[in-house]
Structure 1
Amino acid sequence: MKQVLDTAQLAAISKLFSSSVLQEMTIKGRYDGFSSLVQETSFLDSVDSDFLVADFYEYMFRMLIRTENRQEYVYKSAVVQKVLLGKHSLNTASMLSEFRVEKSKADIAVLNGTSTVYEIKSERDKLSRLKVQIDSYRKFFANVNVIVGENHIDAVKEIVPVDVGIMTLTNNYTISVDREAVNIPSRTCPSTIFDSIRREESIKILQEIDVSVPELPNSRIYAELKKIFSIQDPEVIHHYMVKVLRETRSLNSLKSTIKKIPNSLRAAVLGMSLKKEDVSNLELVVNTPLVEALKWN
């Protein structure tokens, strides 16, 4: 049975999963606007009186994953649950969220033995920027995928190159592969990789391939590093980029936390930079009885 959320409900539930709300929860151990958001969802009377905050989030997520209500976060969560945590682990793989490549932001990417990006186009999204986005991602990632609502699949096939994978999020909340991505690290561009990562990461990559890093003032080092990067072999740079970023962007420290928070929040938490004290606050928040959380102010 369909249950289409109205605009106000969808906005309130989406905000509950937003980084701004969750960041405040992790920093303060509560969110002062929580009660108002819960009221705006119009589901307070539908939940059990003994619900924890974690239970309420799971209940809200079950509303969001319905095809008629899906937004970007639902797709991100599917990739985290079914790919990052389902096929890999935080021991061996890392994740990039909202990762800038040229003028585009990659929705979510997984780094394990190679690099794989997932550009999300939900049922509600337009495809006007897809070609530009994919052109950029093919310069950084060896595997490029578009994960779409079923309403977009025919149009996406007309837009993206044949080496780009196409996936759909089914009505049963599973990821269905329509076309496999082709792993092509040789297609990547060292200059684009350089522009997308941190300076210390680029230096570490050069050190890994035994290329000397010049000692120059800050005003000159960027241009010189980029010049050095631009003449390197794309496959070599890509290989060590994956190796270095798996270390510098490791999520291994969150392994125990991820097991203690609801599935619905895992994608959001892995996309945030959390300190040790933030982790403790978050665990307390999700285990707070809902009736107590409604008193936050």
Structure 2
Amino acid sequence: MLYQLNQLRDLSSLFTRKEVKRWLKDDFKSIDIKLERYNLHKKNKGSNYLKFLKETYKILEENYPNEYILKNEFLNKWLKSELGNQNSLIINEFRTGKAIADLAMFNGVSKAFEIKTILDKEYRLSNQISEYKKIFNELYIIIPKIQINKYINYDDCIGIITYDSEVKNFELIKKAVKNEEIDSNTLIEILHTKEYLEIVYKYYGHLPEMSVFTQYEVCKNLLSKIPNQELNSLFLQIIKKRKVNNLFFNKVNNEFNQICLSLNLKDSEKNELIKKLKTNIN
């Protein structure tokens, strides 16, 4: 079956944080609208919203592999088995300076992953890489396999992972060169107050005299004096304490893993979401 680009784009809007929040409130109006808009109501009547969304995901995967699809498939098929371990922390859309990494992983090292679909322009990539290098040990871009020649020589330091939309698999083409530098000024901007205070305390053994009004500048100065290797190690220890629910390991209903990561849903909340999506389509 052939699908119009506008229809695929419209259907892809179902896999967003905003929509999931509606489903959790038993609001399926946006799905109903699309069922009517594309004459799909009769075909799906008596079924449920979960089945329709899973079928829609498959259609998008085959015909419109946008950023959500690529990010979700990367979580499901690659990240855990190839680059992570049980002690890894995965954070969705991690802000670094003036850029936001699509995915960030922290275990023994910090890794940033930037997804570039066939629909993306590359004009922002240079600035993104520049920002990520201030914090992350390794940088990877995930690109369509057919665009490998476009990116292979883009930057000698970044790793490249390709996605083949036909056979639906990821392949490591080039490993990232490890970055040993870490910019303390950027680091303090991304940390919570209690996090940079803990780093200072751990390294110096005490907190200097300061007020809520001066603590930022005082700690900023102290962080700048910590050797790179030790600052990086302390950063990894602190960031891994963040309470993030990494549910992308789920194999059942894994079409929603990236949304659940984005919303930081607990296991019980994801189960509740699936339960609500099993509501019948009238």
Q: Gaps (5+ residues) in structure 1? A: 293-297
2:22 aligned with 1:24: yes
Match in the other structure for 2:127: 132
2:202 aligned with 1:208: yes
- Checking the alignment, whether the CA contact within 8 Å between 1:123 and 1:150 is kept in structure 2 is no
How far residue 212 of structure 1 moved from its aligned partner, in angstroms, is 2.8
Judging changes above 3 Å, is the alpha-carbon distance between structure 1 residues 261 and 23 closer, same or farther for their aligned structure 2 residues?
farther
2:140 aligned with 1:145: yes
Match in the other structure for 1:106: 101
Deviation string for 1:222-250 (max 9, x for gaps)? 12221111221222222222222222143
Aligned partner of 1:148: which letter? I
Q: Gaps (5+ residues) in structure 2? A: none
Residue 269 (structure 1) aligned to one of 260, 267, 282:
260
Match in the other structure for 2:12: 14
Q: With the length of structure 2 as denominator, give the TM-score of the two structures.
A: 0.87
How far residue 45 of structure 1 moved from its aligned partner, in angstroms, is 5.5
Q: With the length of structure 1 as denominator, give the TM-score of the two structures.
A: 0.83
How far residue 65 of structure 1 moved from its aligned partner, in angstroms, is 1.7
Aligned partner of 2:195: which letter? E
How far residue 73 of structure 1 moved from its aligned partner, in angstroms, is 0.7
Mapped to 2, the partners of 1:189 and 1:41 lie a distance apart of 51
Matched ranges for 1:154-169 at <5 A: 154-160=149-155, 162-169=156-163
Aligned residues: 281
User: Taking every aligned residue pair, what percent have the same amino acid on both sides?
Assistant: 21
Judging changes above 3 Å, is the alpha-carbon distance between structure 1 residues 168 and 41 closer, same or farther for their aligned structure 2 residues?
farther
Aligned partner of 2:161: which letter? M
Judging changes above 3 Å, is the alpha-carbon distance between structure 1 residues 51 and 246 closer, same or farther for their aligned structure 2 residues?
farther
- Checking the alignment, whether the CA contact within 8 Å between 2:90 and 2:105 is kept in structure 1 is yes
- Checking the alignment, whether the CA contact within 8 Å between 1:118 and 1:145 is kept in structure 2 is yes
SS at match of 1:16: coil
Matched ranges for 1:30-179 at <5 A: 30-40=27-37, 43-44=40-41, 51-66=47-62, 68-87=63-82, 91-160=86-155, 162-170=156-164, 171-179=166-174
- Checking the alignment, whether the CA contact within 8 Å between 2:84 and 2:107 is kept in structure 1 is no
- Checking the alignment, whether the CA contact within 8 Å between 1:84 and 1:95 is kept in structure 2 is no
Judging changes above 3 Å, is the alpha-carbon distance between structure 1 residues 261 and 41 closer, same or farther for their aligned structure 2 residues?
farther
Judging changes above 3 Å, is the alpha-carbon distance between structure 1 residues 88 and 134 closer, same or farther for their aligned structure 2 residues?
closer
How far residue 194 of structure 1 moved from its aligned partner, in angstroms, is 1.7
Match in the other structure for 1:295: none
How far residue 90 of structure 1 moved from its aligned partner, in angstroms, is 8.2
